[in-house]
């Protein structure tokens, strides 16, 4: 009688706490459209293929067809691609947190322990890391394992088989997890036949295990040896190999676009990861070593809690405090959890974590410690640590009143990522370049379908069904031939467009950049961005684009931005200098820097008219959150002309890969470039 009452009370507690987790996630992501820009490349391709599933069919197994199917079902409910992106962001992140809570409870963690861990996870960046396909796959794994753990009447290997089936299903979202599935199958066979006493089973067990070991090895070799024209492994390896070289000052080009130059330079004609290893094992092993050294930094970054909008000065302290809290929980788990290691539920979760950590470690070592490779291993590890820290398994009723109090505390403490912790008037939306570009394209009201050439990664997928994305060519060609062959109607000109490697050395491409008008295009300024849109005259005459852009400066100088008059430069020198005319009165401004720091720790400082403005900022990590990370200063301009300098101190003399420096001025000054530059 008592056990049934306890189970009923705990189910009620789970329902209450699960509901508060959902409410907290809703609050966290409220107004997220104001601060989160559209994610391109992987995420935009998944979204587009899901919306067009009935037309395109399923993608191949390496291209996450399960996630494509998920987007298809969501698109039935949410038609607009922009709203679909934000709906998926909210739903997948929330599902991961709720699935984590159910998994932790299935490991016999008490409700308040599991709830505390889920609340921590919600406020970290882990559930909302792009591309979200890894979070989606982790949801499948957690739910299948929670189901297996709750079927206590089944034999241990049968329950483990259910967990393995979940990994197999999730491998259609994260293909590298198929290696984890095969590894877990080996464990199941050992458990199923290794403990049998009959002679036939003992003879069969080694054969089955050997077969699965060979299958796992063959799968791993296929992943490593997949050719560039048939899969993504060599592309992922090559891009991140070039990125590591750029981090360490051995590659000066864009690693995402020029990675083939680095691969050809160091590995010759190798077309696979295995081929690269055989051609130059020293270079590959050096790449592996760099990845392992960077692993802890990435783990720390994704696991710590970040400050929301309006509380940026507290970000470092909050991150340090959250990591210290995690360390304390781990110490508690080590001291209290020895008895729990014999619990079948914990053993099942631990075996599954080992197999998923295997594929995660392979991805981290071979490719790069990208955040989304770490999601599944870290989420499972956090749940296991909480189960250990909770001490010996026990059955105790959870007070519903305390559950409500705990839920309210977390709901109040969880900030909105767009609005911060405290109620305040909604800030004006940030200038999100992808959103602004999509809005500009939609407002043109085109009379026919058009083809948009851009190198950002799928903006056309969000703009609507009238737009088709023309990708950059895979091989070098002339720009004129490319435009004619692909029948391009619109070209998106961004600060990095001139570096497109497919047109390197093409005089026609340089001519187009200098004067698109002479090629039969009209040029329009995309409001609130540093982008321009070149539109064929025949298309522009039958559309309603806004007024043409004013003349702009060369690449690497300045771009006038409306309506905030942002000043944007390509930062390629140790000191970036420009002049700003504030007019007849002093004006306050905020300087924002999006810097991809690709080598050693650096000190960044700002000077106005030769005077340092506030404390300098030390950047001691690689900043690859959604591509770049933002630093800011709040300073004042003097009347008249001001000389502004951005300085960097550290090994080497440039911020290799430093992307965009943006100046948001409050007021209406006139800006001119430094003539010396």
Which CATH number fits the domain that encloses residue 599?
2.60.120.260
Residues 371 and 474 in one domain: no
Instruction: Tell me: pLDDT of 165 over 70.
Output: yes
pLDDT at 551: 31
pLDDT at 477 over 60: yes
At 416, is the secondary structure helix, strand, or coil? strand
- Give which of 667, 624, 605, 549 is closest to 239, Cα–Cα: 624
Q: pLDDT band for 610, please (50, 70, 90 cuts).
A: confident
Give the residue among 331, 301, 327, 326 at the shortest CA–CA distance from 316. 301
Taking alpha carbons only, the member of 356, 288, 395, 423 closest to residue 10 is 395
Residue 242 in any domain: the answer is: no
* Banded pLDDT at 214 (limits 50, 70, 90): low
pLDDT at 424 over 90: no
pLDDT at 97: 96
Alpha helices in 151-198 (DSSP H): 156-170, 177-194
CB 557 within 8 A of CB 569: yes
CB 482 within 8 A of CB 488: yes
Q: Can you say whether residue 593 is alpha, beta or left, with left for phi > 0 and alpha for psi between -120 and 50 degrees?
A: beta
Q: Is the peptide bond before 131 cis (omega within 30 degrees of 0)?
A: yes
**What b-and-e string marks burial along 656-665, b requiring 16 or more CB atoms within 10 Å of the CB?**
bbbbbbbbbb
Residue at which a domain ends, from 523, 540, 557: 540
DSSP string, 249-295: TS--S-TTTSHHHHHHHHHTT--SHHHHHHH-HHHHHHHHHHHHHHH
669's enclosing H/E stretch is none
Check residue 417 and give its pLDDT: 82
210 pLDDT band, cuts 50/70/90, is: low
The H or E element containing residue 338 is none
Helices (H) and strands (E) in the chain, counts: 23, 15
Q: Which pLDDT band, with edges at 50, 70 and 90, does 133 fall under?
A: very high
DSSP H helices, 506-658, are 507-514, 537-540
What are the phi and psi torsion angles at 89 (to 5°)? Answer: -60, -45
Helices 111-123 and 81-106, axial angle in degrees (round to 10): 150
- Number of Cα atoms under 13 Å in the Cβ half of residue 419: 15
Confidence of residue 659 (pLDDT cuts 50, 70, 90): very low
- For the chain, what percent of residues have pLDDT higher than 70? 71
Q: Residues in the chain, how many?
A: 677
CA distance 487 to 470: 9
- 392 & 504 share domain: no
582 pLDDT exceeds 80? no
Which of these, 193, 177, 174, lies nearest to 65 by C-alpha position? 174
* 353 close to 377: Cβ distance less than 8 angstroms: yes
Q: Please, what's the b/e burial string for 387-421 (b: 16 or more CB within 10 A of its CB; e: otherwise)?
A: bbbbbeeeeeebeeeebeebbeebbeebbbbbbbb
Q: pLDDT at position 304, please?
A: 85
The owner of tokens 């631990």 is 350
Q: How many domains are there within the chain?
A: 3
3-state SS record for 6-32: HHHHHHHHHHHHHHHHHHHHHHHCCCH
Eight-class DSSP state of 550? P
At 87-119, the pLDDT tens digits run 999 999 999 999 999 999 998 888 888 999 999
DSSP state of 124: B
What one-character DSSP code corresponds to residue 564? T
Residue 349 tokens, joined:
């979760």
Mean of the per-residue pLDDT values for the chain?
A: 76
CA angle 169/145/196 to nearest 5° reads 95
The residues near 264 (Cβ < 8 Å, ≥ 6 apart) are none
Handedness of CA 461, 464, 468, 471 (dihedral sign): negative
Q: Determine whether 538 is exposed, middle or buried from the number of CB atoms within 10 Å of its CB (0-12, 13-18, 19+).
A: exposed
Is residue 444 in some structural domain? yes
> CB of 579 within 8 A of CB of 641?
yes
Q: How confident is the model at residue 325 (pLDDT cuts 50, 70, 90)?
A: confident
Q: List the structure tokens of 5.
A: 């009452």
More confident residue, 575 or 134: 134
Give this prediction's pTM: 0.77
Assigned domain for 547 exists = no
Cα three-residue angle 660-663-669, rounded to 5 degrees: 145
Report the alpha-carbon distance of residue 360 to residue 591 in Å, rounded. 38
419 assigned to some structural domain: no
Supply the DSSP symbol for 330: H
pLDDT of residue 562: 31
Over range 630-657, report the average pLDDT: 56
* Residue 81: predicted pLDDT: 94
User: For residue 625, what pLDDT is reported?
Assistant: 34
CA distances from 551 to 191, 257, 515, 524, 568 (A): 72, 28, 11, 10, 14
**pLDDT(46) > 50:** yes
CB atoms within 10 A of CB 486: 14
Determine the average pLDDT of the residues in 460-475.
Answer: 89
User: Residue 568: what pLDDT?
Assistant: 35
Of 73-77, 170-174, 453-457, 494-498, the least confident: 494-498
**Beta sheet of 660-665, edge-to-edge order:** 567-569, 660-665, 587-595, 629-637
φ, ψ dihedrals at 645, nearest 5°: -130, 135
How buried is residue 507: exposed, middle or buried, by Cβ count under 10 Å (0-12/13-18/19+)? Answer: exposed
Q: What confidence category does residue 4 fall into, taking pLDDT thresholds of 50, 70 and 90?
A: very low
pLDDT of 658 > 70? The answer is: no
Query: What integer is the mean pLDDT of 497-502?
Result: 78
pLDDT (tens digit, 9 = 90+) per residue, 352-405? Answer: 999 999 888 888 999 989 888 999 999 999 999 988 887 655 555 567 788 889
Q: In this structure, are 307 and 371 located in the same domain?
A: yes
Tokens in use for 275?
């081929």
**Cβ-contact 128, 93 below 8 angstroms:** yes
Confidence at 289, pLDDT banded by 50, 70, 90: very high
Res. 546 pLDDT band, cuts 50 70 90? low
Three-class SS state of 577: strand
For residue 100, how far is the Cα from the chain centroid?
A: 20
Question: Are residues 17 and 115 located together in one domain of the fold?
Answer: yes
List of residues 6+ apart from 424 with CB closer than 8 A: 310
Identify whether residues 378 and 496 lie together within a single domain: no
Q: Look at residue 489 in the predicted model and tell me its pLDDT.
A: 92
- Per residue in 592-603, pLDDT tens? 554 444 344 556
Q: Residue 284 has what pLDDT?
A: 92
Pick the range with the lowest mean pLDDT from 137-151, 215-229, 356-370, 488-502: 215-229
Residue 629 pLDDT > 80: no
- pLDDT confidence bin for 138, thresholds 50/70/90: very high
Better-predicted residue by pLDDT, 301 or 211: 301
Do 606 and 463 reside in the same domain of the chain? no
Quick check: 312 pLDDT over 80? no
More confident residue, 627 or 330: 330
Looking at residues 598-620, what average pLDDT do you find?
A: 60
- Does 188 share its domain with 329? yes
Residue 359 lies in a domain: yes
- On whether residue 551 sits in a domain, the answer given is no
Confidence of residue 24 (pLDDT cuts 50, 70, 90): very high
State the residue range of the domain holding 470: 433-540
**Does 154 lie in the same domain as 27?**
yes
What pLDDT score does 44 carry? 93
Which class for 429: exposed (0-12), middle (13-18), buried (19 or more C-beta within 10 A)? middle
In sequence order, the 6+-apart residues with CB closer than 8 A to the CB of 45 are 458, 461
**Ranges 264-278, 506-520, 553-567, 621-635: which has the least confidence:** 553-567
CB burial string 543-569: b at 16+ within 10 A, e below: bebeeebeebbebebbbbbeebbbbbb
CA-closest candidate to residue 21, choices 156, 113, 136, 116 = 116
Average pLDDT over residues 548-558: 33
Residue 36, pLDDT score: 87
Q: Is pLDDT at 202 greater than 60 in this prediction?
A: no
- Asked whether residue 488 falls in the same domain as residue 619, the answer is no
Residues 138 and 205 in one domain: yes
> Are the CB atoms for 141 and 102 separated by under 8 Å?
no
CB atoms within 10 A of CB 293: 10
CA pair distance 325, 172, nearest whole angstrom: 35
Residue with more model confidence, 504 or 96:
96
Q: Is residue 549 assigned to a domain?
A: no
Q: Between 48 and 608, name the one with better pLDDT.
A: 48
Question: Both 395 and 446 in a single domain?
Answer: no
Q: Give the model's pLDDT for residue 558.
A: 32
The pLDDT confidence band at residue 604, using thresholds 50, 70 and 90, is low
Query: Can you give the pLDDT at residue 27?
Result: 93
- What's the rounded Cα separation, in Å, for the pair 362 and 367? 8
Domain check: are 580 and 506 in the same one?
no
**248 is a domain residue:** no
Q: What is the mean pLDDT of residues 570-584?
A: 50
- Of 228, 309, 297, 209, which Cα lies nearest the Cα of 269? 228
Share of the chain above pLDDT 90, in %: 26
- 416, 31 in Cβ contact below 8 A? yes
């Amino acid at each position: 009688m008592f056990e049934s009452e306890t189970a009923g009370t705990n189910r009620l507690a789970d329902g209450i706490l699960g509901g508060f987790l959902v409410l907290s996630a809703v609050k966290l992501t409220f107004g997220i459209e104001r601060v989160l820009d559209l994610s391109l490349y992987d995420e935009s391709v998944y979204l587009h293929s899901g919306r067009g599933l009935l037309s395109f069919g399923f993608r191949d197994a390496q291209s996450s067809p399960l996630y494509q199917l998920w987007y298809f079902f969501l698109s039935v409910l949410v038609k607009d691609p922009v709203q679909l992106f934000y709906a998926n962001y909210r739903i997948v992140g929330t599902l991961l947190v709720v699935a984590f809570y159910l998994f932790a409870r299935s490991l016999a963690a008490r409700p308040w322990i599991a709830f505390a861990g889920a609340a921590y996870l919600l406020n970290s960046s882990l559930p909302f890391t792009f591309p979200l396909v890894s979070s989606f796959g982790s949801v499948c794994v957690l739910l299948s394992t929670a189901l297996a753990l709750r079927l206590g009447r089944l034999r241990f290997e049968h329950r483990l088989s259910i967990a393995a089936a979940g990994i197999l299903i999730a491998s259609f979202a994260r293909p590298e997890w198929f290696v984890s599935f095969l590894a877990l199958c080996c464990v199941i066979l050992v458990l199923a036949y290794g403990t049998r006493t009959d002679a036939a089973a003992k003879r069969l067990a080694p054969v089955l295990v050997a077969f699965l070991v060979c299958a796992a090895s063959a799968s791993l070799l296929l992943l490593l040896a997949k050719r560039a024209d048939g899969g993504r492994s060599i592309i992922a390896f090559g891009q991140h190999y070039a990125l590591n070289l750029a981090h360490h000052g051995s590659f000066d080009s864009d690693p995402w676009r020029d990675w083939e130059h680095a691969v050809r330079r160091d590995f010759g004609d190798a077309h696979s990861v295995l081929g690269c290893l055989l051609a130059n094992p020293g270079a590959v092993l050096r790449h592996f070593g760099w990845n392992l050294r960077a692993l802890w930094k990435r783990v720390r970054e994704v696991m710590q809690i970040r400050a929301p909008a309006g509380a940026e000065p507290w970000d470092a302290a909050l991150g340090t405090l959250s990591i210290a809290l995690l360390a304390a929980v781990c110490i508690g788990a080590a001291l209290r959890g020895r008895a729990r290691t014999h619990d079948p539920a914990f053993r099942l979760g631990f075996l599954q974590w080992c197999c998923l950590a295997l594929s995660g470690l392979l991805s981290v070592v071979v490719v790069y410690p990208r955040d989304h490779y770490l999601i599944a291993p870290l989420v499972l590890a956090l749940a296991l640590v909480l189960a250990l820290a909770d001490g010996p398994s026990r059955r105790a009723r959870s007070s519903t009143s305390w559950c409500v109090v705990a839920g309210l505390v977390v709901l109040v403490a969880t900030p909105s990522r767009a609005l911060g912790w405290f109620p305040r008037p909604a800030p004006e939306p940030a200038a999100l370049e992808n959103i602004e570009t999509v809005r500009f394209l939609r407002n043109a009201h085109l009379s026919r379908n058009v083809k948009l050439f851009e190198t950002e990664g799928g903006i056309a997928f969000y703009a609507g069904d009238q737009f088709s994305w023309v990708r950059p060519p895979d091989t070098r060609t002339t720009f004129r031939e490319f435009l004619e062959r692909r029948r391009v109607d619109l070209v998106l000109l961004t600060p990095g467009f001139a570096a497109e490697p497919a047109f390197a050395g093409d005089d026609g491409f340089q001519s187009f950049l200098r004067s698109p008008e002479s090629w039969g295009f009209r040029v329009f300024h995309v409001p609130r961005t540093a982008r321009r849109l070149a539109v064929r005259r025949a298309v522009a005459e039958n559309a309603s684009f806004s007024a043409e852009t004013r003349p702009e400066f060369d690449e690497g100088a300045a771009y006038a931005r409306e309506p905030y008059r942002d000043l944007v430069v390509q930062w390629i020198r140790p000191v970036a200098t420009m002049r700003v005319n504030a007019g007849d009165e002093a004006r306050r401004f905020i300087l924002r820097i999006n810097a991809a720091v690709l080598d050693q720790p650096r000190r960044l400082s700002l000077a106005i008219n030769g005077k340092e403005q506030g404390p300098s900022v030390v950047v001691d990590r690689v900043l690859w959150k959604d591509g770049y990370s933002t630093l800011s200063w709040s300073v004042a301009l003097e009347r008249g002309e001001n000389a502004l300098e951005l300085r960097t101190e550290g090994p080497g003399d440039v911020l290799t890969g430093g992307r965009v420096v943006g100046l948001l001025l409050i007021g209406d000054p006139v800006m001119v470039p430094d003539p010396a530059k």
